[in-house]
Structure 1
Amino acid sequence: MGQPIPDFGKFLENLRGVMSLREAARKSGLSHAYIRDLELERNRSTNDRITPSPDTLQKLSAAYGYPYTELMIKAGHLVSGDLHNAPTKQSANVDLPSVHYIELGAKEITYYTHKIKICQSIESLIDFSSFLDQLEEHEFKKMDMDLYVNFNHIRKYDERKGLIYFDEEGAGSSVTISAIRQRKYHDLILRKVANNTGKSLEISFGKTRKTVSFSATEKNI
């Protein structure tokens, strides 16, 4: 872990340039208020100092057309020497279809399968963007700031606690999803659980309920 450059918030403001806060918000998917907080380097509601996460930096990189790796270095998440020691292939030896979920750290990606976890270094914006495309192809969905879940492995869903399990009994490993993602993917998660377990799914329509059946081999929901 390195140190952020002096006045990193001012650097972000200069990167935005003549682009309005609302335009930057539209391009990045972040709120305009949060972008301004980052530029001031503090949460204006609590006055606490804030630093953008790698996920936030990736969004700002895409919105401003500035290299992701450079932003990571300037924010203090990476140091230049880390890039020379990083592996040449980010997803080498990792079978994405077998991965249950993925956690993104400041400098590495951790893959969790049924029995093991694999850690690999984050390299460059080009590699990272390609990596995110691969996740989408294999039906990984973003469930929290740094968490991606393979929907093809979901076997149980605890709506009340916001927990996703990868076994039908709910006795094995689980992940907690954010409330906003739970609302966004609620119906899809239910359909995936039904599909992955070969069970029927009850869907509510007003005061009535309808049972929909999925075969164990049904795909591409």
Structure 2
Amino acid sequence: MKQLEGFGKFLESLRGKMSLREAAHKSGLSHAYIRDLELERNRSTNEKINPSPVTLKKLSDAYNISYTDLMAKAGYLENEQELMSGQAELAEQEQVAMSDAMYIEVTSKEIIFHTRLGQINKSVNSLLDFSLFLDQLDEQGFKKMDTDLFVNLNFVQKYVEREGKLYFDPLGIGKYVVIAAIRQKKYHDLLIRSVAANTGKALEFHYDRNTGTTDAGFFPLKFPG
């Protein structure tokens, strides 16, 4: 494992003007630990520390940097040829499964693609395999809706806000997933717009003078005949 020289300084540069506490809030890591990583040592024991792949994933999300790039700079992906080969193999194996998946569950051992016809299980063989997979999700329209749940917003057709449920049929009688409250708050507007786009309905906003809030509803799109 050959880490980029000055990796701690590199992490600090990624944080930029963001405060340690803000970085901690975005990543789910403690501000003290983030600072230790930037200094490349545990300030309590003065021992050198290296971030785990899980930690790097949290930082990549918080700093909006490619997880694969961060893994490479941390020394987990040393062979560039291996990386390119892995990218090609991953694209070939998962292209169909990912495009057909309504949602994906991720465990430490496998990736489960849930499609309308059933599910496809794929083993997680390496950190390279997993990191490349995560990098592709956002490009394909997936958003992380819980710790191990990624939902393809292109397939969501009904959003029940009060229950945090996302359905993949317009009537809300078929398969659904329940999303985490924090993710629901983060993606609320995006979910409403996605449902509108997927069901061919336009958004209609209603302003409540009593509460000072705006609610979004749907009405069918009309085309000149």
Q: TM-score, normalised by structure 1?
A: 0.60
Any unmatched runs of 5+ in structure 2? 1-6, 13-18, 37-51, 61-66, 78-87
Tell me which of 170, 193, 196 is aligned to 1:194: 196
Which residue does 2:178 correspond to in 1? 176
CA distance in 2, matches of 1:146, 1:98: 19
Does the 8 A contact of 1:194 with 1:214 survive in 2? no
Shift in Å at residue 66 of structure 1? 3.8
Q: Which structure dedicates a bigger proportion of its chain to helix?
A: 2
Calculate percent identity across the aligned residue pairs: 41
SS at match of 1:160: helix
CA deviations 1:82-135 (Å, max 9, x no partner) are xxxxxx944615512211000110111100001210111223344333322321
Tell me which of 15, 30, 33 is aligned to 2:30: 33
Which residue does 2:136 correspond to in 1? 134
Does the 8 A contact of 2:20 with 2:31 survive in 1? no
Structure ID, larger Rg = 2
CA distance in 1, matches of 2:197, 2:28: 35
CA distance in 1, matches of 2:54, 2:170: 31
Name the aligned partner's letter for residue 26 of structure 1.
Answer: A
| Number of matched pairs | 173
Which residue does 1:7 correspond to in 2? none
Considering only aligned residues, what root-mean-square deviation do their CA atoms show, in Å? 4.1
Does the 8 A contact of 2:156 with 2:198 survive in 1? yes
CA distance in 2, matches of 1:25, 1:111: 33
SS at match of 2:30: helix
Name the aligned partner's letter for residue 58 of structure 2.
Answer: K
Shift in Å at residue 210 of structure 1? 7.4
